[in-house]
């Protein structure tokens, strides 16, 4: 029975995930993989090279998440702070795991898990998956590398949460995160079906275009043109994401702070929606 465990849990991110892909990938987005087998192989390759940066590169970046879920723009500074802390913990756990065996001799026995979770989502651009377990054998010793709650964005898989390494030798240490430091997305509230149709909620406040920096105005103009040019099935999720982004911007007192965020979102969206809306993002 597996006894020794090395693990770490990362940062809190205020979004529920799962649903329709919008094509957010590339650049600083992280090295997404096409299958769970490819992801497992990449993790073992990083362990073989004793390269913690190689593992960190497999995580979904903040830019990727902000592009896929622009309504979370106001949360970016806090997420970046927590991601930095998370990376340091992951590097420590990874180094301990890499030192347990000569991973160049590793034989991957099985990669299992990674099924799509069925819970409701507030961010339709990202799909949350169940844990992926990479079962490997190194010099007769069995290992289970656990990839907690990976994500799927634009058909590619990314690490997102805890990284753990188990053996059957009983010689490992379990590293837990400080209270409240978890990368697991917030669970959406479960509501009982209402017997009487509730009144329509008030429309959330949106940032007035005149109050926004030029980068945000450019982003809005291009995004709205893309919505108009997109196929009918894609318009509803795109429109909803834009409305959520505007509401998030309205909550930022100093709109000048949004300039860099909007520039990054525009750069990422060019690649994410370029094929969906050709000629819109120049």
What is the pLDDT confidence band of residue 191, given thresholds at 50, 70 and 90?
A: low
For residues 74 and 19, the answer to whether their CB atoms sit within 8 Å is: no
The secondary structure of 9-50, three-state, reads CCCCCCCCECCCCCCCCCHHHCCCECCHHHHHHHHHHHHHHC
pLDDT value at position 134?
A: 92
What average pLDDT does the structure give for the chain? 73
| CA dist., res. 145 & res. 161, Å (int) | 13
| Listed range (114-128, 145-159, 180-194) with the worst mean pLDDT | 180-194
pLDDT value at position 67?
A: 81
Check whether 198 has a pLDDT greater than 70: no
Neighbours of 49 (CB within 10 A): 14
Over range 77-100, report the average pLDDT. 83
Higher-pLDDT residue of 96 and 13 is 96
pLDDT value at position 83?
A: 79
Domain boundaries, the chain: 4-167, 209-273
Look at residue 206 and give its three-state secondary structure: coil
Residue 145 Cα to chain centre, angstroms: 19
Higher-pLDDT residue of 227 and 121 is 227
Residue percentage of the chain with pLDDT more than 90: 10
Nearest Cα to Cα of residue 258 among 210, 222, 216: 216
Residue 2 Cα to chain centre, angstroms: 28
**Tens digits of residue pLDDT in 128-137:** 888 999 999 9
* Helix-then-strand count for the chain, H and E: 7, 8
pLDDT value at position 38?
A: 93
pLDDT value at position 169?
A: 60
pLDDT value at position 208?
A: 56
Q: Which DSSP category does 281 fall into?
A: -
Check whether 163 has a pLDDT greater than 60: yes
**Tens digits of residue pLDDT in 231-250:** 887 788 888 888 888 888 88
For residues 158 and 58, the answer to whether their CB atoms sit within 8 Å is: yes
Beta strands in the chain (DSSP E): 4-6, 107-113, 127-128, 132-138, 141-147, 151-153, 156-158, 163-167
* Helix (H) or strand (E) run with residue 98 in it: helix 76-98
For residues 81 and 93, the answer to whether their CB atoms sit within 8 Å is: no
Q: What is the largest CA-CA distance in the chain?
A: 66
**Tens digits of residue pLDDT in 171-190:** 443 434 444 444 444 444 55
Contacts of range 74-80, beta carbons closer than 8 Å, 24 or more positions apart: 74/248, 74/249, 74/251, 74/252, 75/13, 75/14, 75/248, 76/261, 79/11, 79/13
Maximum mean pLDDT: which of 86-90, 102-106, 125-129: 102-106
What is the pLDDT confidence band of residue 111, given thresholds at 50, 70 and 90?
A: very high
C-alpha dihedral sign at 260, 262, 267, 269: positive
């Amino acid at each position: 029975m597996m006894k020794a465990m090395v693990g770490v849990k990362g940062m809190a991110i205020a979004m529920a995930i799962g649903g329709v892909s919008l094509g957010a990938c590339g650049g600083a987005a992280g090295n997404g993989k096409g299958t769970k087998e490819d992801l497992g192989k990449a993790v073992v390759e990083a362990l073989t090279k004793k390269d913690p940066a190689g593992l960190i590169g497999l995580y979904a970046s903040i830019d990727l998440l902000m592009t896929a879920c622009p309504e979370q723009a106001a949360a970016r500074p806090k997420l970046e702070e927590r991601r930095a802390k998370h990376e340091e913990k992951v590097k420590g756990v990874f180094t301990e795991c890499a030192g347990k065996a000569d991973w160049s001799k590793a034989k991957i026995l099985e990669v299992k898990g990674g099924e799509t979770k069925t819970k409701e989502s507030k961010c339709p651009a990202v799909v949350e998956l169940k844990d992926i377990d990479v079962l490997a054998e190194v010099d007769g010793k069995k290992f289970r590398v656990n990839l907690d709650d990976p994500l799927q964005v634009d058909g590619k898989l990314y690490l997102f949460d805890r990284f753990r390494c188990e053996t059957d030798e009983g010689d490992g240490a379990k590293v837990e995160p400080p209270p409240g430091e978890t990368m697991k997305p917030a669970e959406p509230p479960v509501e009982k079906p209402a017997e009487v149709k509730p009144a329509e909620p008030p429309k959330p406040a949106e940032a007035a275009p005149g109050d926004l920096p030029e980068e945000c105005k450019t982003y809005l103009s291009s995004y709205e043109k893309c919505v108009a040019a997109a196929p009918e099935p894609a318009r509803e999720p795109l429109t909803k994401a834009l409305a959520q982004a505007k509401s998030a911007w309205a909550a930022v007192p100093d709109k000048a702070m949004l300039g860099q965020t909007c520039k990054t979102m525009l750069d990422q969206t060019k690649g994410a929606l370029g094929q969906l809306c050709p000629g819109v993002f120049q």
